[in-house]
Amino acid sequence: MFPARRGIYLVSLIQAALCAVQFQHPNDLPGVQYDFVVVGGGNAGAVVATRLGGNRDFKVLVIEAGPSNDAVFATQVPGLAQNVSGLPLVEWNYTTVAQTHAGGKADAYGRAMLLGGCTSHNELVYTRGSRDDYDRWASVVGDENLSWDKLLPYILKAEKWSSPNDPNLSEEGHFDPSVHGLDGKLQTSAPYNPHPLNDLLLETTKELSDEFPFLLDLNDGRPIGIGWQQNTIGKGVRSSSATGYLSSTGDNVHVLLNTRVTRILPTTYGGTDIRTVEFATDPKGPTYNSTATKEVIISGGVINTPQILLNSGIGPKEELAAVGIASIVDNPGIGKNFSDQSAISTLFSTNLPSDAFDQTAALAEWSKSHTGRLADPPHMSSLGWVRLPADANPFKDGSPDPTGGPNSPHVELFFYNVRPPPDGVDNGPGNTSLLTIVVNLNPVSRGSITLAPGSSPFDAPVIDPNLLASPLDTAILLEGIRSAQRLFSSKAFSGRMFGTALPPSNATDAAVVDFIQQNTTPFLHGVGSCGMGPRNANWGAVDPDFKVKGAKGLRIVDASIFPYVTSGHTQAAVYAIAEWASEIIKESWNQ
Ligand SMILES: Cc1cc2nc3c(=O)[nH]c(=O)nc-3n(C[C@H](O)[C@H](O)[C@H](O)COP(=O)(O)OP(=O)(O)OC[C@H]3O[C@@H](n4cnc5c(N)ncnc54)[C@H](O)[C@@H]3O)c2cc1C
Ligand SMILES: *[C@@H]1O[C@H](CO)[C@@H](O)[C@H](O)[C@H]1NC(C)=O
Ligand SMILES: *[C@@H]1O[C@H](CO)[C@@H](O)[C@H](O)[C@H]1NC(C)=O
Ligand SMILES: *[C@@H]1O[C@H](CO)[C@@H](O)[C@H](O)[C@H]1NC(C)=O
Ligand SMILES: *[C@@H]1O[C@H](CO)[C@@H](O)[C@H](O)[C@H]1NC(C)=O
Ligand SMILES: *[C@@H]1O[C@H](CO)[C@@H](O)[C@H](O)[C@H]1NC(C)=O
Ligand SMILES: *[C@@H]1O[C@H](CO)[C@@H](O)[C@H](O)[C@H]1NC(C)=O
Ligand SMILES: *[C@@H]1O[C@H](CO)[C@@H](O)[C@H](O)[C@H]1NC(C)=O
Ligand SMILES: *[C@@H]1O[C@H](CO)[C@@H](O)[C@H](O)[C@H]1NC(C)=O
């Protein structure tokens, strides 16, 4: 009716018809000069490419090692998360080096190799962490823009709250609508599995409210207590950076799949202007290259970003010399300060009903209506967050508080579906074991990502989270296990918990510490391997504007830049910093 409106309507129709153009092989690429090349189409990379591509004048190329998420059906189905993360074909198949302080064992270190990165295979938990986490980032790197108050608009910009599909499972009272975004590209919701554990935990929040208060919304900036999960799920379907972001771009965003970035190269001989990206599809095949006219953004994730930079001669000079790589930029922060949350799995024997369900029927239901057990993630629907008091055992020796501040939990309790008891635990017929993962959210230990001598860009780097190197990390896990034992000894759980538990509730501290040291694993929330530091400081891999120190034309945007991990699962924070980085990259080109 109104010509102006009609114009807008037509434009939006045209935009809706477009989406990122995918190429399966470097030979298929059109001969386009790109303004930006984004290395890795994962969590952060897909966000940055989409936001830069929001300017239709920018031509953006994303290079992703894996296939499209569309090629893997299970990426869509929340309850099949583990069917994706267990698929070797879309996995980097990484293993850590032997963890000397954690039983001497080498642990699997899952990382997704497909479009959307870890957001296409993760367990869909949506947690922002605490406001202190971001305020600590801001103070450590000397840039207010990273504080909670300044980043919150970008957290909200990413998010689109979107209810679950099942009208029988009301979300009311499970979250606080006032702290959520409604217009973003990443869909979130609070679906749940109606299992009796939910109510028992809620009853316990009344009974043991000092240690386990009820938490209405774990994303309000102060995640302490027990509350309902929120997930990156919209209407029963996984929402990822691939489905939410890349699927909404114009055809000025190109995605090259199945292609490994091997190195980044100086654009002029001997220079530090590094805008040329080298890539290949197999170790023996030809290499290709593309030079961005504006910038290269590395978003390969916490393991691969430092690997790509080190292979390119960007990193600690002496260390690179020792593995035979010529130094281009001496940047001592690349590959250092890698850390991950340490996690210990405990078992509690219960007489709660089994949560086993008919997979075939559930898949049929999901396919029909996006409801049922496969419309929510493969774990229980509550989460526990415990802040230890200042006089708790771990701090009695004067150890400083490892969290960002008083709004931050030290420990997470992550409950897995009640399952038949594992071998060696006999609960009697019909009884089940409740797997509770106790997580030390703010580890003090620091490890590294380095290159093995003589390795090629197609080989895995050396991955060392150095779990439990600091005794404080072990002490916090011990206290976390004691906390879980207190939780399950509430009146609400009496008559529900019995028999054997791992570790047993009467185990001495020394025995529990031994259990921790033998069985702790990384929680797969690695950060820090290209950590951000203050401008002009002699440490830190990148400046607060995400630019690689010592190089031009090169930024890093992914979990590797986090100076400290957030006190929670990491994807929400990756979305937030990717939104913020996109903003300042666009600004720097005056757009
Ligand atoms: C099994 C598992 C479960 C998890 N569950 C949760 C959860 O429930 N909630 C949560 O918040 N967090 C979870 N996480 C963590 C979270 O998903 C990650 O921290 C976050 O998504 C990482 O984002 P990123 O952008 O740094 O890296 P990624 O998402 O890993 O993206 C990196 C991308 O770069 C590509 N790439 C790497 N190297 C190259 C190369 N050389 N050439 C081309 N492409 C390359 C990769 O294939 C990948 O697509 C989980 C992680 C794992 C592994
Ligand atoms: C997913 O994995 C489970 C457990 O291994 C298996 O029972 C189920 O059949 C798988 N589902 C699909 C659709 O692959
Ligand atoms: C992971 O292992 C599978 C099966 O062995 C293999 O097909 C795949 O190529 C491996 N991935 C990488 C990145 O090496
Ligand atoms: C909701 O509950 C009703 C009554 O129990 C049931 O018939 C219906 O199938 C349920 N809907 C869904 C989507 O599960
Ligand atoms: C990039 O590729 C072109 C053509 O294949 C080649 O001539 C050029 O030397 C390469 N540049 C670099 C920096 O490798
Ligand atoms: C690791 O981070 C700390 C700050 O948390 C910093 O002081 C130190 O220099 C960093 N190490 C390296 C090698 O960059
Ligand atoms: C579970 O085990 C307890 C203790 O052995 C027993 O009393 C109870 O009957 C068992 N429950 C079921 C359902 O078998
Ligand atoms: C713990 O309790 C079990 C069973 O009651 C008992 O066999 C064991 O000796 C106790 N262990 C300790 C360290 O007290
Ligand atoms: C951060 O914020 C300050 C003050 O608002 C601003 O001057 C500065 O340029 C910002 N930094 C970046 C990298 O945008």
Pair (566, 514) in one structural domain: no
Give the whole-angstrom CA distance, residue 214 versus residue 490: 15
Q: Determine the pLDDT at residue 534.
A: 98
Residue 356 has pLDDT above 90, yes or no: no
Query: 39 - beta bridge partners?
Result: 63, 298
Residue ID of nearest Cα to ligand 2 atom 9: 359
Q: Determine the pLDDT at residue 422.
A: 60
Q: Determine the pLDDT at residue 9.
A: 35
Distance 427 CA to ligand 8 centre (A): 16
Residue by residue, DSSP assigns 326-377 as --SEE-TTTT-SBB--EEEEEEEEE-SPP----HHHHHHHHHHHS-SGGGS-
176 inside domain: no
Ligand of minimum distance to the alpha carbon of 337: 6
SS3 234: strand
Q: Determine the pLDDT at residue 469.
A: 98
Give yes or no for a contact between 307 and 451, defined as CB atoms under 8 angstroms apart. yes
Half-sphere exposure of 203 (CA within 13 A, CB side): 12
Pair (589, 571) in one structural domain: yes
Distance 487 CA to ligand 8 centre (A): 20
Q: Which atom of ligand 4 is nearest to the CA of 166?
A: 13
pTM score, two decimals? 0.95
Q: Determine the pLDDT at residue 419.
A: 64
Residue 420 has pLDDT above 90, yes or no: no
Query: 60 - beta bridge partners?
Result: 36, 253
pLDDT, one tens digit per residue, over 232-248 is 999 999 999 999 999 99
Residue 59, domain extent: 1-68+77-155+242-334+448-460+526-591
> What is the rounded average pLDDT for all residues in the chain?
94
Distance 116 CA to ligand 9 centre (A): 29
Give all strands (DSSP E) within 213-266, no chain letters.
Answer: 225-228, 233-234, 237-238, 253-256, 260-265
pLDDT, one tens digit per residue, over 515-546 is 999 999 999 999 999 999 999 999 999 999 99
Q: What is the CATH number of the domain that holds 17?
A: 3.50.50.60
Q: What is the CATH number of the domain that holds 514?
A: 3.30.560.10
Pair (261, 381) in one structural domain: no
Residue indicated by tokens 């999901």: 366
Give yes or no for a contact between 8 and 78, defined as CB atoms under 8 angstroms apart. no
Ligand of minimum distance to the alpha carbon of 576: 1
Q: What is the mean pLDDT of residues 258-276?
A: 95
Hey, what are 376's tokens? 């929510």
Q: Determine the pLDDT at residue 423.
A: 58
Residue ID of nearest Cα to ligand 6 atom 8: 539
Pair (504, 372) in one structural domain: yes
Q: Which atom of ligand 3 is nearest to the CA of 113?
A: 13
Residue ID of nearest Cα to ligand 6 atom 6: 539
Residue 430 has pLDDT above 70, yes or no: no
The one-letter code for the residue type at 210 is D
Q: What is the mean pLDDT of residues 101-116?
A: 97
Q: Determine the pLDDT at residue 111.
A: 98
Give the whole-angstrom CA distance, residue 298 versus residue 312: 12
237 inside domain: no
The residues that are catalytic are 525, 569
510 CB within 6 A, ligand 8: no
Residue 418 has pLDDT above 80, yes or no: no
Q: Determine the pLDDT at residue 442.
A: 98
Residue 432 has pLDDT above 90, yes or no: no
Confidence of residue 17 (pLDDT cuts 50, 70, 90): very low
Number of domains in the chain: 2
Residue 80 has pLDDT above 50, yes or no: yes
Pair (423, 557) in one structural domain: no
Confidence of residue 15 (pLDDT cuts 50, 70, 90): very low
Pair (55, 200) in one structural domain: no
User: Measuring from each residue's beta carbon to the nearest atom of ligand 3, which residues come in under 6 Å?
Assistant: 88-89, 91-93, 113
SS3 127: coil
Q: Determine the pLDDT at residue 522.
A: 98
80 CB within 6 A, ligand 2: yes
Residue ID of nearest Cα to ligand 1 atom 20: 571
Distance 289 CA to ligand 5 centre (A): 6
Pair (83, 133) in one structural domain: yes
Pair (29, 131) in one structural domain: yes
Q: What is the mean pLDDT of residues 428-435?
A: 73
Which residue among 431, 496, 497, 500 is best mutated to probe the pocket of ligand 7, counting the most ligand atoms within 8 A of its Cβ? 431
Pair (416, 494) in one structural domain: yes
Q: Which atom of ligand 6 is nearest to the CA of 541?
A: 14
Give the whole-angstrom CA distance, residue 81 versus residue 77: 7
Q: What is the mean pLDDT of residues 197-224?
A: 98
Residue ID of nearest Cα to ligand 7 atom 7: 428
164 inside domain: no
pLDDT, one tens digit per residue, over 24-64 is 999 999 999 999 999 999 999 999 999 999 999 999 999 99
510 inside domain: yes
Q: Is 144 among the annotated ligand-binding positions? A: no
User: Measuring from each residue's beta carbon to the nearest atom of ligand 5, which residues come in under 6 Å?
Assistant: 265, 276, 289
